[in-house]
Amino acid sequence: MAQRLIVIGGDAAGMSAASQARRRRDSDDLEIVVFERGHFTSYSACGIPYWISGLVPGPEQLIARDPETFRTKYAMDVRMRHEVTAIDLERREVVARDLEGGGEIRERFDDLVYATGAVPVKPPWADSDAGGVFGMQTLDDGAALRDWLDAETQPRRAVVVGGGYIGVEIAEALIQRGLSVTLVEAGDQPMSTVDADMGELVADAMRGLGITIRTGLPVTGLEQRDGRVSAVVTAEGPIPTDVVVLGLGVRPNAALAEAAGLPLGPTGAIRVDRRMRVPGLAGIWAAGDCVETLHRVSGLPVNVPLGTHANKQGRVAGINIGGGYATFAGVIGTAVTKVCELEVGRTGLREREATSAGFDFVSVIAESTSRAGYYPGARTMTVKLIAERPSGRLLGAQIVGWSEAAKRIDTLAVALWNGMTVDDMTSLDLGYAPPYAPVWDPVLIAARKAVDALDR
Ligand SMILES: Cc1cc2nc3c(=O)[nH]c(=O)nc-3n(C[C@H](O)[C@H](O)[C@H](O)COP(=O)(O)OP(=O)(O)OC[C@H]3O[C@@H](n4cnc5c(N)ncnc54)[C@H](O)[C@@H]3O)c2cc1C
């Protein structure tokens, strides 16, 4: 009899796991059943801001594989609009509810992949029945915001609450659609994924694009008129608006797992080993935004909800379920984004993370250009490096610049992953020609400056 794999969650982690398991085991050997409560499988939430702005024409472009493709080409039993409501580890069964009114079912499993992603943080004040208030997590959220923006009563003013990368990307999308946008952030700066000095560069650039930024200002409520949101409430008074988008971050969607007895770690996400197995529970796997993983620099468990990790972790789980051997090696916190033309990249630890992980370090900021100064299109680029004292080991890096900045972080990520020191980095054989870099690449200039700062 074929063994049975049940996957909860039909997006990045879940479908990567299912696809890899199928590549290694055919349907006579392994039956695969996927439960997905939404309307889509394998879609790119990362692309939603570019669909909102109009850069990507339609949601179809954001879907890598639809349920029918998984059914016909991959011999999977994909149950859309089915929400798993309980996991019975003793009987090795899941309980699922058909959200289209088809009742409740129980399904047996030999292996289970838990890949439910994350849930957006939603404070009580955001639980409003007013029209025009949107979260930004799924393709359905994107569709709802698009419909609202396209409706006859076209909104003119928008407030984005929360200045993380999703809030910043949505602010960009709305300004590109011609709305007047205010970004309200409770902390001291938007883009707190980089240090304050680098975040200030991002904030300046956003202001230059016409986005109003209000920092240190928690939103405490919403006002509405005729069933539609009319303002967000703050200690400094209401900010009038026609539409509100929430970008307050996410937390691991682990409630179902916790209720079933899967172990959670200090981050509130599910604990897994390097093969994505849930420790102590044979045949139970978890991957994606709902799990915690090792930060290779701090050595601490972290929950980093990014698509890049979800895809890799799902792949690892699927290879192992399929009978192969694969491990997920942890993360170093690499991420990139942009606000219109301004690109932002980071890897490793920020200053406050390096401090709380107990490192003694120096940090330097180097200003340079993306291309040779005389070459058309050369724009400023700021590179920040954080290096351990006295060893010089790279601990973290951040880049903000107007062109060719974001993906330069990959050079630094590779250096950091391999434990390079800033001394080693000064001799890196990086490509040079005037259209691509100054003769001393910004990365090399920053490394030289860090060596000087170490003052050994
Ligand atoms: C606007 C936006 C922009 C982003 N940009 C980037 C980016 O540029 N780079 C990057 O790396 N990451 C980005 N991300 C993050 C990335 O999308 C996520 O990290 C990734 O989708 C996580 O994949 P996952 O499979 O773990 O979870 P998800 O993609 O959230 O999938 C989980 C699935 O499980 C389903 N589900 C949950 N509970 C149940 C249940 N009980 N029963 C059945 N189904 C259930 C959900 O409906 C969902 O489809 C972005 C996210 C957003 C929202």
User: Per residue, what are the HEC states of 127-174?
Assistant: CCCCECEECCCCHHHHHHHHHHHHCCCCCCEEEEECCCHHHHHHHHHH
* Cβ of 95 less than 6 Å from ligand 1: no
* Residue 37, ligand 1, Cβ within 6 A: yes
18, 59, 79, 390 from 64: Cα distances, Å: 14, 10, 17, 47
Looking at residues 167-172, what average pLDDT do you find? 95
Q: Can you spell out the DSSP letters for 86-114?
A: EEETTTTEEEEEETTTTEEEEEE-SEEEE
Angle at 109 between CA 104 and CA 115, to 5 degrees: 80
Q: Is the pLDDT of residue 148 over 90?
A: yes
Of 314, 298, 411, the residue nearest 351 (C-alpha): 298
Question: C-alpha 46: how far from its chain's center?
Answer: 8
- A 10 A CB-CB count for 186 gives 15
List, for residues 66-94, the tens digit of each pLDDT value: 999 999 999 999 999 999 999 999 999 99
The answer to whether the CB of 315 is under 6 A from ligand 1 is: no
Place 1 in a pLDDT band, splitting at 50, 70 and 90: confident
Contact (Cβ atoms closer than 8 angstroms) between residue 99 and residue 81: yes
| Residue-averaged pLDDT of the chain | 96
On whether the CB atoms of residues 107 and 6 are closer than 8 A, the answer is: yes
145 lines ligand 1 (CB under 6 A): no
Q: Counting atoms of ligand 1 from 1, which one is nearest the CA of 288?
A: 26
- Ligand 1 pocket, residue 249 CB under 6 Å: no
List C-alpha distances in Å: 216 to 190, 204, 245, 387, 393: 10, 16, 18, 30, 34
The amino acid present at 11, given as its one-letter code, is D
Atom in ligand 1 nearest the alpha carbon of residue 256: 41
Is residue 253 in contact with ligand 1, taking CB distance under 6 Å? yes
Residue 12 CA to residue 345 CA, distance in Å, equals 22
List CB contacts of 238: < 8 A, sequence separation 6 or more.
223, 231, 232
256 within ligand 1 shell (Cβ under 6 A): yes
Distance CA 392, CA 397 (A): 13
Whether the per-residue pLDDT at 326 is higher than 90: the answer is yes
User: Contact 139/309 with Cβ under 8 angstroms?
Assistant: no
For ligand 1, whether the C-beta of 35 sits within 6 Å is: yes
The answer to whether the CB of 89 falls within 8 A of the CB of 74 is no
Residue nearest to atom 20 of ligand 1 (CA): 307
Share of the chain above pLDDT 90, in %: 95
Which tokens in the block code for residue 268?
A: 């509130």
CA angle 18, 314, 296 (to 5 degrees): 170
How far apart are alpha carbons 140 and 410 in whole angstroms? 32
Residue-level pLDDT at 402: 92
Answer yes or no: are the C-beta atoms of 365 and 383 closer than 8 Å. yes
Kindly give the pairing relationship between strand 3-8 and strand 111-114: parallel
Mutate which of 145, 306, 313, 331 for ligand 1? The one with the most ligand atoms within 8 Å of its CB, which is: 306
**pLDDT above 90: residue 151:** no
Respond yes or no: is residue 46 known to be catalytic: yes
Which of 16, 39, 46, 84 gets mutated to test ligand 1 (max ligand atoms within 8 A of its CB)?
Answer: 46
Please give the model's pTM, rounded to 2 decimal places: 0.96
219 CA to middle of ligand 1, Å?
Answer: 25
How close is the Cα of 47 to the center of ligand 1, in Å? Answer: 12
pLDDT score of 8 more than 90: yes
Taking CA atoms only, the protein residue closest to ligand 1 atom 30 is 117
The confidence score (pLDDT) of residue 74 equals 97
User: Where is 68: in which H helix or E strand?
Assistant: helix 67-74
Sequence-ordered alpha helix ranges (H) in 374-436: 409-417, 422-425
pLDDT band of 102, cuts 50, 70, 90 = confident
Q: Are 155 and 243 in contact (CB under 8 A)?
A: yes
Cβ atoms of 177 and 52 closer than 8 Å: yes
Of the chain, the end-to-end C-alpha distance in Å amounts to: 67
* pLDDT band at residue 336 using 50, 70 and 90 as cut-offs: very high
- 402-411 pLDDT, tens digit per residue, is 988 999 999 9
pLDDT at 314 (0 to 100): 98
Position in ligand 1 atom list of the atom nearest CA 9: 34
SS3 for 61?
Answer: helix
Distance CA 85, CA 314 (A): 21
C-alpha 95 chain-centroid distance: 29
pLDDT of residue 403: 85
Query: Is 426 in contact with 394 (CB distance < 8 Å)?
Result: no
CA of 309 to the centre of ligand 1 (A): 11
Q: Which of 95-99, 186-190, 295-299 has the lowest mean pLDDT?
A: 186-190
- Give the closest residue (by CA) to ligand 1 atom 15: 306
| Residues 319, 320, 324, 327, CA torsion sign | positive
The whole-number pLDDT of residue 226 equals 92
429's tokens: 């054989």
- Which residue out of 23, 24, 46, 326 is catalytically annotated? 46
Which amino acid type is present at position 30? Answer: L
Ligand 1 atom closest to the Cα of residue 289 is 26
Report the pLDDT value the prediction gives residue 153, as an integer from 0 to 100: 75
Q: Can you tell me the distance from the alpha carbon of 245 to that of 454, in angstroms, rounded to the nearest whole number?
A: 44
Closest atom of ligand 1 to 336 CA is 8
Mean pLDDT of 189-204: 94
CA of 139 to the centre of ligand 1 (A): 10
DSSP state of 185: -
Residue 259 burial (CB < 10 Å; 0-12/13-18/19+)?
exposed
Q: Is the pLDDT of residue 350 over 80?
A: yes
Residue having the nearest C-alpha atom to atom 3 of ligand 1: 46
283 Cβ closer than 6 Å to some ligand 1 atom: no
